[in-house]
Amino acid sequence: MTGNQAETFSLPDVVPDVVWLDSVESTNEYLASQSAPSSLRAALSWNQSAGRGRLGRAWISPAGKSLALSLELGPELIPDEPSESWRGALPLITGAQLVAALESMCDKVSLKWPNDVLIDGKKVAGILGQIPAPRRVIIGVGINVWLADSELPTPESTSLVLQGMTDASQLHKAIGELITQLVTTLQSMRQDGVPEDVWGKIRGVVSTLGREARVIFPDGQEVVGTATDLDDCGRLIVCDHSGESHTVSAADVQHLRPV
């Protein structure tokens, strides 16, 4: 392990506007509170005190140990009329690109539907997409980087350093790859919707597919069954034990066992 790990680093030139915040409540909220950007911009911090998670939850990250990265897409990356398919694909694409970027340093990286990046079955990163106003799109990524065992928010979590990352430069490279690949993919979707090969890449990393899973809806109801596919808006299709098919758009998923 090298140096003081919680350091700033450069992002690829495709992000013309980058701000590193010494501390912030939420990088997503920080960007949302600014006026709309004219092109892609990023806010990052190693010290996020009130991070927002999915389904109204908090994202807890001890100071200096977890990276908060938010990207606000500029008009050059947002279709004139974003379809439901585009909106549904966006966090999944971000997750798939993050999986690909982390695979350069760790084994057994996958995406648990919809937005949890796992290493060896444990959560290392979460993604939160927000549309704070029409034609504004923010994608937030929280990555557990330097957390020791005793600092993990839950027993189902992990961190990059616990999974074998040895050097901060590996993370810097992975974030650069994430952003570069994400921008390239979004450029390809600016006019033509979500290409089939993009769905293919997403399906290829979603470890929920083909598994027995418990789906827990926000109202507490549950469905247990086999996750068979994603639809063209990124919703999870789950076939329960009576053969009924459920299309799931917002829920928590627990992986039970491979089928």
Secondary element (H or E) of residue 31: helix 27-33
Residue closer to ligand BTN, measured from CB, 52 or 235: 52
CA distances from 82 to 86, 89, 194, 230 (A): 6, 11, 11, 19
Subset of 119-178 contacting ligand BTN (CB under 6 A): 126-128, 140-142
Do strands 41-45 and 17-21 pair parallel, antiparallel, or not at all (unpaired)? Answer: parallel
Q: Give dist(CA 112, CA 62) in Å, integer.
A: 23
- In the list 70, 110, 144, 207, the residue contacting ligand BTN (rule: CB under 6 A) is 70
Asked if 46 contacts 172 with a C-beta cutoff of 8 angstroms, the reply is: no
For ligand BTN, which stretch binds (CB under 6 A), given 11-19, 54-62, 210-218, 243-251?
54-62
SS (H, E, C) 55-93: HHCEECCCCCCEEEEEEECCHHHCCCCCCHHHHHHHHHH
- In the list 52, 122, 201, 211, the residue contacting ligand BTN (rule: CB under 6 A) is 52
Residue 51 binding ligand BTN, by CB under 6 A:
yes
For ligand BTN, which stretch binds (CB under 6 A), given 66-74, 170-178, 181-189, 227-235?
66-74
Instruction: Give the nearest distance from C-beta 115 to ligand BTN in angstroms.
Output: 6
Instruction: Give the nearest distance from C-beta 80 to ligand BTN in angstroms.
Output: 26
Dihedrals φ, ψ of 62, to 5°?
Answer: -60, 140
- In the list 14, 21, 47, 53, the residue contacting ligand BTN (rule: CB under 6 A) is 53
- CA dihedral (197, 70, 156, 233) positive or negative: negative
* 159 CB-near residues (< 8 Å, 6+ apart): 65, 66, 124, 144, 145, 146, 147, 148, 151, 152
Tell how far CA 52 is from the center of its chain.
13
Q: Give dist(CA 149, CA 143) in Å, integer.
A: 15
Instruction: Give the nearest distance from C-beta 244 to ligand BTN in angstroms.
Output: 28
Instruction: Give the nearest distance from C-beta 247 to ligand BTN in angstroms.
Output: 21
Residue closer to ligand BTN, measured from CB, 182 or 225: 182
- In the list 15, 68, 96, 111, the residue contacting ligand BTN (rule: CB under 6 A) is 68
Applying CB under 6 A, the site for ligand BTN has a residue count of 21
Subset of 14-43 contacting ligand BTN (CB under 6 A): 26-28
Q: Which residues bind ligand BTN (CB under 6 A)?
A: 26-28, 48, 51-54, 57, 59, 68-70, 115-116, 126-128, 140-142
